[in-house]
Homo-oligomer: A and B are copies of this chain.
Amino acid sequence: MDKYKRYERLAAIVKIFSENPNTLINLEYFMNFFGIAKSTASEDIDILKSVIEKFNFGKLITLPGAGGGVKYIPIANIKSYLPFVQEIKEKLKDPSRIIPGGFLYTADLIYSPNIVTKIGEILVFPFLDKNVDAIVTVETKGIPIALMCAKALNVPLVIIRKDSRVTEGSFVSINYISGSQRHIRSMSLARRSLQKGSRVLLIDDFMKAGGTIRGMMELMEEFDAEVVGAGVMISTEKPENKLVDNYISVFVLKNMEEEKNIIDIEISDWILKG
């Protein structure tokens, strides 16, 4: 008789997949973990597949062959995130978020673990099958979102520094023009923090003209990295001509009027249309 009952194994497998999204786990792992036969492990996975789909928790993908196994994709379709995105949109419209100087206060949202977990899952969704090797962000406010993107894709996070306080050996720096303030700034990344030729997804919290993402792209060239895309939580509608074109955002900030206490923000089309 098997050491564990089926419902016990299923519960345990759900836990293992939840903690290891986008990670290929072979059947042998489960056979050893539970002390079960291959056929039993296969049956467990088949049952779990339908459970996960039934509850809209994402999907399990089986890759056949010697190097194969099962992989849990935590997000089945982008539309299932609509209620969440709508809730965050309402929060973003709160006029008390307007900070003198034309800034939008978002720290309570982008530093909230449960919220950034979901924002991360949404931002990586279009890149699930793009073989991303690493998530790249620039300090500071984009780091929590970027880490959750990295967790959702099961790849390492790389953090670019905005100064040269790099205590990680030799590093590469570039100058870039901060679009919103038209200042020349620099960003630096240690040589050893990103392998040459990596496929990277650039992540940040906010994008106006796109100067920061543009700077990240230039820095990536120094690492022979291939930029698969860029994602931000909020992009502004204006200026229409950004310094980058290949990007997605969760929200589009259309207008913000300090005097009238108005924040006009919309959910991006690609999410609304699913």
Q: A residues bordering B, Cβ < 8 Å?
A: 4, 6-8, 10-12, 14-15, 18-20, 47-48, 51-52, 54-55, 57, 99-101, 103, 105, 107-108, 111-114, 116-117, 139-141, 143-144, 147-148, 150-151, 154-159, 161, 167-169, 190, 192-193
Residue of B with least CB distance to A102: B167
Closest to A34 in B: B55
Contact B167 A101 (CB under 8 A): yes
Chain B residues with Cβ under 8 A from A190's Cβ? Answer: 107
Q: How far is the CA of A14 from the CA of B48 in the complex (A)?
A: 12
Q: How far is the CB of A104 from chain B (nearest CB, A)?
A: 9
Complex interface: chain B residues within 8 A of A192 (CB): 105
Q: Which residues of B contact A55 (CB under 8 A)?
A: 8, 12, 15
CB–CB A140/B114 < 8 A: no
**What would 22 A/B residue contacts be, using CB atoms closer than 8 Å?**
A8-B55, A11-B14, A11-B48, A11-B51, A11-B52, A12-B51, A12-B55, A14-B14, A14-B18, A15-B55, A18-B18, A101-B167, A103-B168, A105-B168, A111-B157, A113-B147, A113-B148, A113-B150, A113-B151, A113-B157, A139-B139, A143-B147
Q: Establish whether residues A51 and B8, one from each chain, have CB atoms under 8 Å apart when the complex forms.
A: yes
The quantity of this chain's copies bound in the complex is: 2
Known: A143-B143, A168-B107. A11 touches B8 (CB 8 A): no
Q: How far is the CA of A100 from the CA of B168 in the complex (A)?
A: 9
Instruction: Report how far A189 CA is from B56 CA in the complex, Å.
Output: 40
How far does the Cβ of A11 sit from chain B's closest Cβ, in whole Å? 5
Asked if A19 and B107 sit within 8 Å, CB to CB, the answer is: no
Residue in contact with A157 in the complex, picked from B11, B19, B144, B159, CB distance below 8 Å? B144
| Residues of chain B contacted by A155 (CB below 8 angstroms) | 113
**Of B99, B111, B154, B168, which contacts A113 at CB under 8 A?**
B154
Provide the bound-state CA to CA distance between A167 and B222, in Å.
Answer: 30
Extra 7 A-B pairs, beta carbons < 8 Å, given A8-B55, A140-B143: A7-B10, A11-B52, A12-B57, A19-B114, A101-B167, A105-B192, A113-B151
Complex: chain B residue closest to A103, CB-CB: B167
A19, B117: Cβ atoms closer than 8 Å: yes
The residue from B103, B140, B167 contacting A161, defined by CB atoms under 8 A apart:
B140
